[in-house]
A and B are shown apart, each in its own frame.
Chain A
Amino acid sequence: MNDFFLSAAGIILFTVAVGLVRVLSGPTNADRIMATQLLGTGGITSLLLVASATGVRGVDDVALGLALLAAFAAIAFVDNVAAPDSDTSKGDRTE
């Protein structure tokens, strides 16, 4: 069973690695953001598979944290891409 878990983790990690090409080459920033989300999902999956195969405790909390922070990173990326100069324009307006 452990070998099956590990093989599955390896295959998922491989698909994520292929997806990383999108992080690297783009062409647009949206592609990069989506690829990191894929990396987040795939990373969490292979993390849980490897952890249950090797018997590491407390990994489910790492998975929960990664899931939350992957969504958080997505919002932060979108925030930056959507409004790249929000800092100054809004700052001056409220004065």
Chain B
Amino acid sequence: MSILQILDIGLAGLVLAVAAWTVFARDAFAAVVGFVAYGLLLSLVWVRLFAVDVALTEAAIGSGVTGVLLIGAAGRLRKLEASGGDDELPGASLRLFAAALCIFVTLVLAGVVLSLPDPGPTLAPEAARHLAETGLGNPITAVLLSYRSFDTMLEKVVLVLAVVGVWSLAADQYWGGAAGNPRGAEPDGTRALLAQVLPPLGILIGIHMVWVGADEPGGAFQGGAILAAMWMITMMAGLTEMPSIRSRLLRLVLVAGPAVFVAVGVAGVAFASGVFAYPTGFAKPLILFIEAFMTLSIAVTLPVLVAGPPKRLRQQ
């Protein structure tokens, strides 16, 4: 057995152990910390599977943004538990049923994976053969923004719909207000220092990831998620605050990505062979143009989703 195999088995064992512990943890905060650690280990696994783009997304979404979302949820649940909501805990039979259902889904998934033909059906050679026509060097970006650009556009529209869904949970009196804590709630301390030191580096790395995404692992989603994390850091430290949901600029940035995507796609009717087709030779610049706006939209959408519905009226 080679060293690499021992390493892989160790990594897989570690992932399974952390996953099991996250499921069985009694305390919600501890479970969230376990989940973030699990996401970090998973991105190591993706690199071992040579899927660096997936590793980047897992790092940004799996342990980054989802982690913050779950921490917020754990905080709210703790308040609920503290206010004596213990009798609202699901009963033993319901929990057993949920566990049985989860185990069943896992077994079915495992069965499907094990019954896949070897080698599995793949379009990878096709995708690689036409890569030159897109002018891109990263086949993942070519699939996402050229071969199946319509699907990717719809995914971005779903993000906007998610924001609409979250905002529609606002209480009547806070409509037009803002989510999150106001600026200057806790302006001093270590967090403020980190929130001033980290974002300049983070913004640089986020833009770098979008830019290299055309030819190397990276892209709008990964870069946008890093930028989103940087904005969230400054909000947590009280240096910036979430704008009012009435803000025209905020709404414009939220829809800019999908809107530009649709506009370029429809323009394909006049300038190329059809809807969501790119004119020959212009594919790469157009894809980078779309990705620039998509990055902006993602960088704003994720913090808006994490902040939740508006909870306070803005001071005029």
Contacts and interface: CB of A to CB of B under 8 A. Distances in A.
Interface of A: 3, 6-7, 9-10, 13-14, 17, 20, 23-24, 26, 29, 32-33, 35-36, 39-40, 43, 46-47, 50-51, 53-54, 56-59, 61-62, 64-66, 68-73, 75-81, 83-88, 90-91, 94-95
A95 B177 CA distance: 10
Interface string B43-74: 11001101010011001100110011001101
Given A29-B30, A66-B59, A68-B229, 9 more contacts: A6-B7, A10-B3, A58-B212, A69-B229, A71-B198, A73-B36, A73-B64, A78-B191, A90-B185
Contact of B44 (A46, A70, A79, A84): A46
Interface in B208-232: 208-209, 212, 216-218, 222, 226, 229-230, 232
A86 B191 CA distance: 15
Interface stretch (B116-124, B250-258, B308-316): B308-316
B200 to A, nearest CB: 11
A34 B170 CA distance: 36
A85 B77 CA distance: 11
B67 A95 contact: no
Given A65-B222, A80-B72, A90-B312, A6 B217 contact: no
Nearest to A58: B217
B29 A29 contact: yes
A91 B191 CA distance: 21
A51 B50 CA distance: 9
Interface of B: 3-4, 6-7, 10-11, 14, 17-18, 21, 29-30, 33-34, 36-37, 40-41, 43-44, 47-48, 50, 52, 55-56, 59-60, 63-64, 67-68, 71-72, 74-76, 78-79, 181-182, 185-186, 191, 194-195, 198, 201-202, 205, 208-209, 212, 216-218, 222, 226, 229-230, 232-233, 236-237, 311-313, 315
A73 B41 contact: no
Given A50-B47, A95-B312, A90 B233 contact: no
B33 A33 contact: yes
Nearest to B67: A73
Nearest to A70: B40
A75 B59 contact: no
Contact of A61 (B195, B209, B237, B311): B209
Contact of B195 (A6, A70, A75, A95): A75
Contact of A62 (B30, B56, B311, B315): B56
A79 B236 contact: yes
A20 B233 contact: no
A54 B47 CA distance: 10
In the A-B complex, the 3 residue pairs with the smallest Cβ-Cβ separation, listed nearest first, are A58-B217, A69-B64, A91-B311
Contacts of B44: 43, 46-47, 50
A77 B28 CA distance: 12
Nearest to A49: B7
Nearest to A5: B3
30 contacts: A26-B30, A32-B33, A35-B37, A39-B37, A43-B41, A43-B43, A46-B44, A50-B7, A58-B52, A61-B52, A61-B216, A62-B56, A65-B59, A65-B60, A69-B59, A69-B60, A69-B226, A72-B230, A75-B195, A76-B67, A76-B68, A78-B191, A79-B71, A79-B191, A84-B79, A87-B76, A87-B311, A88-B79, A90-B181, A94-B312
A68 B236 contact: no
Contacts of B56: 61-62, 65
